[in-house]
Amino acid sequence: MAEIKDIHGQIMYQGPQATVKELIESLEKPMAVYETRIDLCAADLSWVDLEGADLGGVDLSWSDLYDANLRGANLRGADLTYASLVETDLKNANLKGACLNGVDIDKAKNVPKISL
């Protein structure tokens, strides 16, 4: 059994064994950025390998992404409000349209240039 827990230890997902990347990508995607999003608010995703994952439009607000691998991940339109990106590797990640309110982006690694 695989689990995704929030930062308070509450189980957000429990199901068949899979990588966190496979679990997230298997969830139903919104039809547009502003429709209902996949909710991973306050999820503990520290040390998770999400290289190349499609996280477009996902709610990652208040999530702990400490030392996570987000190289080449699609974060277009994702909500990263107050997410912890300490040591998070963002090399070649797509952050276009991502909400970064309250994020200390200087603590992340390999931050791509963001066009606002």
Position with higher pLDDT, 53 vs 9:
53
Banded model confidence at residue 103, pLDDT cuts 50, 70, 90: very high
Structural domains of the chain, with CATH = 1-27+38-116 (2.160.20.80)
**Separation of first and last alpha carbons in the chain:** 41
Residue 113 CB neighbour total at 10 angstroms: 5
Is pLDDT at 70 greater than 60 in this prediction? Answer: yes
Taking only Cα atoms into account, the Rg of the chain, rounded to an integer number of angstroms, comes to 13
Give pTM, 2 decimals.
0.75
